[in-house]
Amino acid sequence: MNIYDIAEMAGVSIATVSRVVNGSSKVSEKTKNKVLKVIEEAGYTPNVFAQGLGLNTMHTIGILVPTISDLYMSSAVSYLEEGLHNIGYDCILSCSGYHATEKDSHLQMLLSKRIDALILVGSTYAGSEDKSHNTDYIRRASEEIPVFLLNGIIEGENIYCTASNDYQATFDATRRLIEDGRRRILFMTDSRSYSANQKKKGYIDALAAMGEKVDPDMEIFIKNDVDYVRKSFGQYDDLRYNAVLATDDAMAIGVLKYLTDRSVAVPKDISIIGYNNSSLCVCTTPELTSIDNKVKLVATQTIERLEEVLHGEKMVAGKNVVACELIERGTTAFSDMDPRR
Amino acid sequence: MNIYDIAEMAGVSIATVSRVVNGSSKVSEKTKNKVLKVIEEAGYTPNVFAQGLGLNTMHTIGILVPTISDLYMSSAVSYLEEGLHNIGYDCILSCSGYHATEKDSHLQMLLSKRIDALILVGSTYAGSEDKSHNTDYIRRASEEIPVFLLNGIIEGENIYCTASNDYQATFDATRRLIEDGRRRILFMTDSRSYSANQKKKGYIDALAAMGEKVDPDMEIFIKNDVDYVRKSFGQYDDLRYNAVLATDDAMAIGVLKYLTDRSVAVPKDISIIGYNNSSLCVCTTPELTSIDNKVKLVATQTIERLEEVLHGEKMVAGKNVVACELIERGTTAFSDMDPRR
């Protein structure tokens, strides 16, 4: 009889058994009573095991990302790992991809480790408005341990979200383009995630607020790959766009390369704004204007909140929003700025 | 009395105790006897604990990287995580930075987990020729568990290295430039790691083999940052270089930006070759010729070898070398190729 058997018999993770044994407040009364009942019936002496296993002190956080090869994700994980290390926690990393069943199975793997909390990186975990992406698996996890979500907002007890304000960022960028005389603005995305939807909503609301027509043809769903966009973008010539707002820098650069190949003047004839303010932005000619979604700030605030929650702080808000910033470079030339590059 | 106590008393990690208990062949006779002696003296009944803890089946691999925000490192970790997941292993990630004491303490943290093997990503762990970087801490780790090193070669029992052939790559690239009439070749690096030294050696040997003068002034040590290189590169104008060979793409792009700012024709007047064939290469104008050091192949071959070692295969070679490939784009125009971009 050991902690794994108790966990199995109670239908919870060993982390939950650990928490019950150690009197953590992060377990619901219902779960706690279920586990204590199993422990009692089994004649289990938890403290000896728990202390022997060092369950109180594993100090390990599970991090789930769709992929680590993405520039945004690797930055986020880098800041998270550094922050966790500084407060004495190690991290177990798992890359789930973007499919629902894989996300769930990777999450279950992490829960089966002795993790103190779970961090989900990227809005893919927050589902989308069309309900096909279910987020119940996250709420189930949050019954066992606190769950932290980066760049997505979902509701639930023991779930703590920190997201950049993508809605406001695309709203402001779109308005800025319109004020600058660009009224044919293409919106490009590769995702229907929570954050992609926020970005699209900001774009549409800004068009409406400025009295511009909202044209669904101007919303383009395309692969986030420089070469792919560059080679296939000719199909949108008929749209006679004079500005492009992309939800990732790579897409925006694909358009810039396409236009440069055809000697179209950027930003004179067409303005381009990317997203994430990645290291790619300074590589292009002209350099790419991009929305900085403050990945470092989102990550460090997540760690601060995680520390508060794990220290038993009760007043940590479930939702925390960080403002983005438009970083102006050579692919835009707004009239109120001094174009340096 | 538990496995942690045994490990402490024997002066080894719990992973080693686990291995002794489970009869693994990956523990030296000396260590095995030491652990068994402690177990006997303590009256410890290992099997109950070991099986209860599932020590046989934690299936976890420790991955140590200096940083995950580097493009090469994040690619490598991405392929490693995917490969490990496919063969049923999870990974614990730790980012050590580049300082010796931090590397050692992060490595000790990983060893204190129940990891089955350790993967070190990047040649920074392989030390350098000037002996100031000691690699003994890796050999100590390899007494407990198999150690896999990506992009560095160090000797030792239970250590398995897979590296790209950086020496041959810079030798060939340098010769190619000289054959193309470029005899003033700047070599740029930001590191004195194992792989940086291999790259430099390839460059110097090619110059010598082609009867060119080796000029130490042409070897530049500089920060690997696009903006930094771009802003500071004027100091090298006096060197009258007509080609640049960089050990990372970001440096090469910094030079390209510097030259473009001054309307120097690339590749007509100056050829540029980067390293890593990262996603940055296709962003520039002209696009960057770069040496592909085959990070995917290095990672997948590491996982294949890890699987063999963990399955008890005895004939796995300690050293495995993968050939690089020069990917020609717009910053070179070798006479025997058809420049498409």
Residues 8-67 of A with CB under 8 A from B: 52-54, 60, 63, 67
Q: Is the model's pLDDT at A272 over the cut of 90?
A: yes
Of A69, A78, A226, the CB nearest to B69: A78
Distance (Å, rounded) from C-alpha B78 to C-alpha B299? Answer: 9
Cis peptide before A267 (omega within 30 of 0): yes
Q: Do B95 and A85 touch (CB under 8 A)?
A: yes
Q: B-chain residues within 8 Å CB-CB of A78?
A: 67-69, 95
Q: What's the pLDDT score for residue B337?
A: 52
Q: Find the closest chain A residue to B68 by CA distance.
A: A78
Q: A-chain residues within 8 Å CB-CB of B113?
A: 60, 90
Nearest residue to B243 (alpha-carbon basis) of B279, B206, B276 = B206
Percent of chain A with pLDDT over 70: 89
Nearby residues of B282 by Cβ (< 8 Å), 6 or more positions away? A226, A227, A257, B288, B329
Q: How many CB atoms sit inside 10 A of residue A146's CB?
A: 21
Of A52, A93, A260, the CB nearest to B93: A93
Percent of chain A with pLDDT over 90: 59
**What is the distance, to the nearest Å, from the Cα of residue B61 to the centroid of all Cα atoms in its chain?**
17
Please report how the helices B71-86 and A71-86 are oriented relative to each other, as an axis angle in degrees rounded to 10.
90
Q: Find the closest chain B residue to A279 by CA distance.
A: B280
Give, in order, the Cα–Cα distances in Å from B226 to each of A159, B232, B258. 39, 10, 9
Q: Is the model's pLDDT at A47 over the cut of 80?
A: no
Distance (Å, rounded) from C-alpha B199 to C-alpha A31? Answer: 58
C-alpha distance across the termini of chain B, in Å: 69
Confidence of residue A340 (pLDDT cuts 50, 70, 90): very low
Q: What is the pLDDT of residues A232-271, one digit of tens each?
A: 999 999 999 999 999 999 999 999 999 999 999 999 999 9
- Min Cα–Cα distance to chain A from B341, Å: 10
What is the block-wise mean pLDDT of chain B (341 residues), using blocks of 10 residues?
76 79 75 83 53 53 91 93 90 86 86 87 78 75 94 92 97 97 96 92 98 96 95 96 97 97 96 96 96 97 96 91 97 70 38
Q: A-chain residues within 8 Å CB-CB of B69?
A: 74-75, 78
Distance (Å, rounded) from C-alpha A282 to C-alpha A340? Answer: 13
Nearby residues of A181 by Cβ (< 8 Å), 6 or more positions away? none
The whole-chain average pLDDT of chain A stands at 88
Q: Can you tell me which residue has the tokens 């999450």? A: A107
pTM: 0.80
Residues 68-87 of A with CB under 8 A from B: 68-69, 71, 74-75, 77-78, 81-82, 85
Nearest residue to B233 (alpha-carbon basis) of B204, B277, B264 = B264
Q: Find the closest chain A residue to B112 by CA distance.
A: A58
Q: What's the pLDDT score for residue A28?
A: 85
Q: Is the model's pLDDT at A42 over the cut of 60?
A: yes
Grouping H, G, I as helix, E, B as strand and the rest as coil, residue B321 is strand
Confidence of residue A44 (pLDDT cuts 50, 70, 90): low
Nearest residue to B253 (alpha-carbon basis) of B277, B281, B276 = B281
Instruction: Point out the least confidently predicted range of A10-14, A167-171, A237-241, A306-310.
Output: A10-14
Grouping H, G, I as helix, E, B as strand and the rest as coil, residue A231 is helix
Q: Find the closest chain A residue to B296 by CA distance.
A: A69
Looking at this predicted complex, what is its ipTM? 0.77
Q: What's the pLDDT score for residue A118?
A: 96
Of B74, B78, B284, the CB nearest to A284: B284
Report how many Cβ contacts below 8 Å link chain A to chain B. Answer: 106
Q: Do A78 and B95 touch (CB under 8 A)?
A: yes
Q: A-chain residues within 8 Å CB-CB of B77?
A: 68, 93
- Min Cα–Cα distance to chain B from A213, Å: 33
* pLDDT, mean of residues A121-137: 74
Of A3, A63, A285, the CB nearest to B285: A285
Q: A-chain residues within 8 Å CB-CB of B280?
A: 279-280, 283
Phi, psi of A335 (to 5 degrees): -65, -25
Q: What is the pLDDT of residues A279-327, one digit of tens each?
A: 999 999 999 999 999 999 999 999 999 999 998 888 999 999 999 999 9
Q: B-chain residues within 8 Å CB-CB of A81?
A: 68, 93-95
Grouping H, G, I as helix, E, B as strand and the rest as coil, residue B292 is strand
- Min Cα–Cα distance to chain B from A271, Å: 17
Q: What's the pLDDT score for residue A29?
A: 84
